[in-house]
Structure 1
């Protein structure tokens, strides 16, 4: 399978470049771009697995989420420059829903089909649960509630203030997990398994592969975005549906594939860290950074989501916390998360 993905990368990337330069049909290029991103994601998954063995699941999952979210950050900055603030907020919503319901759901389901019962670090799950409640239910709700009685300028000031607090708390959370409390809440059994396994690649090569694959995914993803309008007309998709479902899935394809691969190999600590860690990074770092960067563009982007977006994110956080807070999972819990994602997808499609 690795050879197949390698062939897809070496063929898909050049064809993606040639097709974009020669302006091949959008629907054809949409398919080529998607297949190329999936193949590149396989390399990112292998690099993540090697890093997790060498440096631990937390750092491995964090690096995978960071490189994966870098793609979405780049696409969002271009969208802000073009004044598409609604699409950016929709894609951020889609990332939260996609990571918590689709990625975690697929990981739980596929891993659960192969293994009757899968365990992961319950302490990390509870720590992430508290941050998710703060980031999505507290920090995202406050601007919407207060914006009703505030002017546009004051709403933007409130959004910037909340964004700065989110970034500071996110950096503090990383310091807590990776420095002051690293290893304190570690599961001894999983730690022993990690030491016994040999990584496919060394730390340097793994980081290099992640970086190069991320750049390639960023290039292909940016071109993929330009095909959405034509593809949407062909399939009858709305702009909101594209932003929340399609852009989010494609922009986070790398960590999607990595989390599912880790769950299939019964490495749930890494899978959960990718899904939860990516959500936290989107909500506590990427979104605030975009709000601050939007001050240099016109119009600026306050941290104010629509009511359907806000309700969808809040309910996905609550459902994920209820299912994952015990540190165990199975295929039925994965199916529950996927069902919730499909219901919300239908709602946004019809909206």
Structure 2
């Protein structure tokens, strides 16, 4: 049912986006249309990727999910970089990390907890992800910001590239670890049951064609969306930081967020945790490094240096999430705690 709605919105939204851009409609209206269209396209891309993952098998499927999981946000960020909006891109990365951990994790735990008093998931997987979160966010993001104080711009960029390469190598190693050498350790009964009964929604070639067309459409609509940021920011009093952290992050991940919440409601909270934490790790260890490398070939270079409020938000989000999920079970109150933290941060970034 959901994918039909995504297709309907896409078939309406993409033509309206093209016509509205050509006829120079009101930018606030266009901003709304672009956001809704991108959310629908993200949902379609997610469905296509899932179908390809099922057809290709668990190992290749895991790699496909890792590669295309945040494709929409990566496309938006690359286009924003091309337009010199480095602060928006860094803010969107921050927003994705805290949004996945606090908003998605919080809503999943809260919604699932209202139906089930206690929900459990793989504690070993949670602890494994906790270590990666501390490495990727606390170490790889905080250390460059500290060293950059005593460095030139050139040295800061060199450090950022070095950190980015290490993050990508470790991310690929983590995929190999979970999908190949230690796959049995991190497969729960819940995951096995889901995998056994899963059937591909679309055939291989249909999924590839849909994924390709959706990616092209996302690229076009994202480019138009980026050009509305200045007008929207001036109209509503939103800073580039707020647009990146709240708006871009939510739009780019909305379809995936909804999937996590539905899984928790169905008592598959392990999958919801994997979506929330896995997406944060993918942003920190893959998307951010790729953007740093891509910026080397653009007019605006993007060092991996976040502002102090961004770093504080990400670090506190990581430690709060670890404290809540490291025991392997959760409830609605823990979800509400995560949501409360997200709202506090959202207010702070709005007023900053």
TM-score, normalising length from structure 2? Answer: 0.88
Preserved CA contact (<8 Å) 2:91 2:310: yes
Give the stretch that moved more between structures: 256-265 or 160-169: 256-265
Counterpart for residue 99 of structure 1:
100
User: 1:137-180: per-residue Cα shift (whole Å, max 9, x none)?
Assistant: 01111111111222222222222211111111111001101111
Judging changes above 3 Å, is the alpha-carbon distance between structure 1 residues 310 and 286 closer, same or farther for their aligned structure 2 residues?
Answer: same
Residue 296 of structure 1: SS of its match in structure 2? coil
Preserved CA contact (<8 Å) 1:61 1:273: no
For the pair 1:313 / 2:310, whether they are aligned, the reply is: no
Counterpart for residue 248 of structure 1:
249
Residue 184 of structure 2: SS of its match in structure 1? coil
Give the stretch that moved more between structures: 329-338 or 252-261: 252-261
Counterpart for residue 71 of structure 1:
72
For the pair 1:126 / 2:123, whether they are aligned, the reply is: no
User: 1:21-69: per-residue Cα shift (whole Å, max 9, x none)?
Assistant: 2221112222222332333344345556656777788976764563242
Give the stretch that moved more between structures: 113-122 or 41-50: 41-50
Judging changes above 3 Å, is the alpha-carbon distance between structure 1 residues 346 and 186 closer, same or farther for their aligned structure 2 residues?
Answer: same
Judging changes above 3 Å, is the alpha-carbon distance between structure 1 residues 283 and 346 closer, same or farther for their aligned structure 2 residues?
Answer: same
For the pair 1:80 / 2:81, whether they are aligned, the reply is: yes
Preserved CA contact (<8 Å) 1:255 1:274: yes
Distance in 1 of aligned mates of 2:178 and 2:142: 26
RMSD (CA atoms): 2.7
| Residue correspondences, number | 351
Deviation at 1:192, TM superposition (A): 3.2
Preserved CA contact (<8 Å) 1:61 1:271: no
Alignment of 1:1-351 (within 5 A): 1-2=1-2, 3-44=4-45, 46-47=47-48, 63-64=64-65, 66-196=67-197, 198=199, 200-202=201-203, 205-206=206-207, 209-351=210-352
Residue 142 of structure 1: SS of its match in structure 2? helix
